[in-house]
Amino acid sequence: MRQSRLAVLLIVLAALLTLRWWKPPADPERAVVVPATRSADSLRSLPSRVQVAEAQADWSRGTRNAEEAIPRNAFAVRLPPAPPASDTRTPVVPRAASAPRLFVGPPVPTPQPAPPPPPPPPLQVIGGWLDEKGPSVFVAGPRGVTQGRVGDVLAGEYRIARITPQQVLVTHVPTNREIGLVVPPGNALSLAGAK
């Protein structure tokens, strides 16, 4: 079915090309009007075959006007027109040179405020213990009382950094800030051997 359709289309195309070659379409712009009565004057006014052939060969006829002027340089520096000649009676006073304008850069960005300090830890040292493994502390938190040594993590975000008799230094893991927890005075004696 596809091949038969292609064959029909090719036959139609060949017929149209033959018809175009046999009888070309008349162009209304290039048509020559011949009067019914042919006098000698009318035959002289008709264009010659050479003129008709030249007109048919010019494909861009009437599409644009010819440029009469010499083409200008598009990249040439253009100077402002000269001022008109001034009268000799009035002196021309030159304008005072203005002070050069200093370049002022973009505005200085405002400094970003420091991030807020982490909230105080919900931890409280309630006691300490010193044994052969080293010092440890008992810390009360939201989940109860736990015993912790240096390096242990309390409440999921506070790591014990150092234990001294006066305070326990914990590091807030998300912000890496150190916070001191005070050891109660009565329990400082049990951590006296800790350094």
- Is the confidence at residue 12, as pLDDT, over 90? yes
Helix, strand or coil for residue 140?
strand
- Say if 159 falls within a structural domain: yes
Residue 120 pLDDT: 79
Mean pLDDT of the chain: 77
Question: Does a structural domain hold residue 74?
Answer: no
pTM: 0.40
Containing domain of residue 178, as a range?
124-191
- 94-107 per-position pLDDT tens digit: 676 677 777 788 88
> Is residue 3 classed as helix, strand or coil in its secondary structure?
helix
In a domain, 186, yes or no: yes
Q: What is the CATH number of the domain that holds 185?
A: 2.30.30.830
Question: Does the structure show a pLDDT above 90 at 15?
Answer: yes
Do the domain assignments include residue 130? yes
**Domain assignment of residue 98, yes or no:** no
φ/ψ of 36, rounded to 5, equals: -65, -40
In a domain, 128, yes or no: yes
Q: Please check whether residue 24 lies inside any domain of the structure.
A: no
Contacts of 123 (CB under 8 A, 6+ apart): 139, 140, 141, 154, 155, 158, 170, 181
Structural domain contains residue 140 = yes
* Total domains in the fold of the chain: 1
